[in-house]
Amino acid sequence: MAWSLLLVRFLAGIFLANGIPHFVHGLSGKAFPTPFAQPPGVGDSSPIVNILWGFANFVGGCLLLGAMAPYEPGYNAETAALGFGVLVLGLSLAWHFGRVRNARSGL
């Protein structure tokens, strides 16, 4: 299996994981940071912007899943790369937004 295919699956995991918090906050009617806020990634964007940004991430992740070769779900390197992308971005987002929320609350 080509390393480039694993990289594409890893990136798909990143996009799919990034779509979740934005889409959920948008559905809940809550503001949440996006790259379009001021300052980017720290300031809050409206729920509508979050729905659109989350959806764009889902589309990007799905397109990457189909890129280069059809995705073959199962216990394989492709699924491991996808899962690793989700894990890496999930940990990064938890760290980043934890710092943002703590800074806002003065902790």
| pLDDT digit string, tens, across residues 32-75 | 999 999 999 889 999 999 999 999 999 999 999 998 888 888 99
Which has the closest alpha carbon to 24: 64, 54, 68, 3? Answer: 54
Q: What is the rounded average pLDDT of the residues 77-88? A: 96
Which pLDDT score is estimated for 54?
A: 97
**pLDDT higher than 90, residue 91:** yes
Which pLDDT score is estimated for 61?
A: 96
Q: Which amino acid is at 86?
A: V
Q: What is the 3-state secondary structure (H, E, C) of 2-41?
A: CHHHHHHHHHHHHHHHHHHHHHHHHHCCCCEECCCCCCCC
| pLDDT digit string, tens, across residues 3-29 | 999 999 999 999 999 999 999 999 999
Burial class (CB in 10 A: 0-12, 13-18, 19+), 94: exposed
